[in-house]
């Protein structure tokens, strides 16, 4: 395997469709994305799936692991009891600099716990956050929402940190010069919402390194008026699951409303490029997964039901995050924040 190309560790045993779909997505990524893949898990099971897919790429390496943290297990307990589980081995590959990123469709809580224990938090970050990218009303414009599930309960300063991390990601990966940050709330006024929202509004509006654009009501999340939107993990996870359901419903409606018979075939043929673009914009599988921001390494958390296309896109996201030095940029940014705080305290 190349020593210069980006290496991504993929938890081959995590997810509802592991290892078949995970291996399928990894094979496609290895062939198309100019990235080396470390497939972590049961070697026999992985090799059997690679044979089924007729794998011909040579930039995939199998890294043995013993067991998996199941969805029924409490995340932290499972991670600690199973040091050789696939998610732990994958995280250790990043810790040992054998890989630059991790992708897992397994237990999201276990992925976060393994990342915290194995990689640690970035200095100055109190709580890591899971950031998910959503389509907006405008073509080729996306919004980053965080947190979408890592922290059910938050303090105002956590949301401020989410905004800083999200701004770095949006600037360097989504290529937005000055990301506009919004705060999920039930109204536009600064006095609206619960105590968390009110206090977070004060912090966000007073931080000169955050381009705070105000509160974002539910209807504003996908409007394209914001580039980064922050909230606690409870609200974010509800928004994430609701958006996924809406996307699936819209795709189903499009399928159902196409005419049947010869007219349907002709119409579908004419509309095929448009239908493909619609799917790319609203299907959550096209976005691959969510980035765990705030730990010392790139970690992509994919949906438990992920199939090969989702895994492929998750690996793509991981490669982009590594290639744009997202972790290093956040580390530098937060070091500045911490130094500034210490100077003020002294």
Q: Could you read off the pLDDT of 266-275 as tens digits, one per residue?
A: 656 655 555 5
Residue-wise pLDDT tens digits, 226-256: 999 999 999 999 988 888 777 777 767 766 7
Direct distance between the N- and C-terminal alpha carbons of the chain, in angstroms, rounded to an integer: 50
Confidence at residue 243, expressed as pLDDT on a 0 to 100 scale: 81
- Single out the residue of 301, 268, 272, 299 nearest to residue 284, CA to CA: 301
Contact 38, 8 (CB under 8 A): yes
CA–CA separation, 242 and 341 (whole Å): 38
Confidence at residue 326, expressed as pLDDT on a 0 to 100 scale: 92
Region of poorest pLDDT, from 115-119, 210-214, 247-251, 300-304: 247-251
- Single out the residue of 343, 334, 341 nearest to residue 122, CA to CA: 334
Helix residue ranges, H only, 65-135? 75-81, 86-95, 108-118
Q: What is the mean pLDDT of residues 319-326?
A: 93
Q: What is the largest CA-CA distance in the chain?
A: 77
Confidence at residue 1, expressed as pLDDT on a 0 to 100 scale: 46
Kindly indicate the confidence band of residue 194, based on its pLDDT and cuts at 50, 70 and 90: very high
Residue-wise pLDDT tens digits, 9-32: 999 999 899 899 999 999 999 999
Residue 230's Cα: distance from chain center in Å?
14
Confidence at residue 129, expressed as pLDDT on a 0 to 100 scale: 95
Q: In sequence order, what are the beta bridge partners of 9?
A: 38, 102
Confidence at residue 265, expressed as pLDDT on a 0 to 100 scale: 63
Confidence at residue 2, expressed as pLDDT on a 0 to 100 scale: 44
Other Cβ atoms closer than 10 A to 56: 8
Predicted TM-score (pTM) of the model is: 0.84
Q: What is the mean pLDDT of the chain?
A: 86
- Single out the residue of 18, 105, 87, 136 nearest to residue 315, CA to CA: 105
Phi-psi region of 214 (alpha: psi -120 to 50; beta: other; left: phi over 0): left
Confidence at residue 277, expressed as pLDDT on a 0 to 100 scale: 57
Helical axes 308-323 vs 20-32, angle rounded to 10°: 50
Find which of 178-187, 304-313, 324-333 is predicted with most confidence, using mean pLDDT.
178-187
- Single out the residue of 224, 213, 218 nearest to residue 238, CA to CA: 218
- Domains assigned to the chain: 7-125+294-323 (3.40.718.10), 129-284 (3.40.718.10)
Whether residue 221 is predicted with pLDDT greater than 50 in this model: the reply is yes
DSSP assignment of 281-338 equals HH-GGGG--EEEETBSSEEEE--TT--HHHHHHHHHHHHHHHHTTHHHHHHHHHHHHH
Beta strands in 45-152 (DSSP E): 60-64, 101-104, 129-135, 142-146
More confident residue, 184 or 5: 184
Contact 95, 297 (CB under 8 A): yes
Taking CA atoms, 311 is separated from 37, 90, 289, in Å, by: 12, 15, 8
């Amino acid at each position: 395997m190349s020593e210069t190309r980006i290496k991504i560790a993929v938890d081959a045993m995590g997810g509802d469709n592991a290892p078949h779909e995970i291996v399928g997505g990894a094979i496609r990524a290895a062939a198309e994305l100019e990235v080396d893949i470390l497939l972590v898990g049961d070697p026999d099971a992985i090799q059997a799936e690679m044979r089924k897919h007729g794998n011909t790429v040579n930039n995939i390496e199998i890294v043995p692991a013993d067991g998996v943290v199941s969805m029924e297990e409490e995340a932290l307990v499972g991670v600690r009891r199973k040091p050789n589980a696939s998610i732990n081995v994958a995280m250790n590959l990043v810790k040992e600099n054998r890989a630059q990123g991790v992708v897992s469709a397994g237990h999201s809580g276990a992925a976060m716990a393994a990342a915290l224990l194995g990689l640690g938090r970035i200095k100055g970050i109190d709580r890591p956050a899971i950031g998910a990218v959503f389509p907006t009303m405008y073509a080729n414009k996306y919004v980053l929402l965080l947190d979408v599930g890592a922290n059910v309960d938050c303090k105002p300063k956590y949301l401020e940190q989410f905004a800083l991390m999200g701004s770095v990601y949006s600037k360097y990966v989504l290529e937005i010069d000055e990301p506009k940050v919004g705060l999920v709330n039930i109204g536009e006024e600064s006095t609206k919402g619960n105590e968390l929202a009110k206090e977070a509004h004060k912090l966000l509006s007073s931080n000169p390194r955050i381009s705070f654009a105000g509160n974002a009501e539910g209807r504003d999340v996908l409007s394209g008026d914001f580039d980064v939107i922050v909230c606690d993990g409870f609200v974010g996870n509800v928004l994430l699951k609701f958006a996924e359901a809406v996307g699936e419903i819209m795709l189903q409606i499009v399928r159902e409303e196409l005419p049947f018979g010869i007219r349907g075939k002709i119409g579908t043929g004419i509309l095929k490029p448009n239908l493909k673009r619609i799917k790319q914009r609203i299907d959550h599988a096209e976005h691959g997964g969510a980035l765990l921001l705030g730990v010392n390494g790139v970690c992509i958390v994919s949906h438990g039901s992920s199939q090969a296309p989702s895994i492929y896109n998750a690996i793509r996201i991981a490669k982009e995050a590594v290639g744009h030095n997202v972790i290093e940029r956040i580390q530098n940014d937060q070091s500045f924040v911490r130094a500034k705080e210490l100077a003020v305290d002294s």
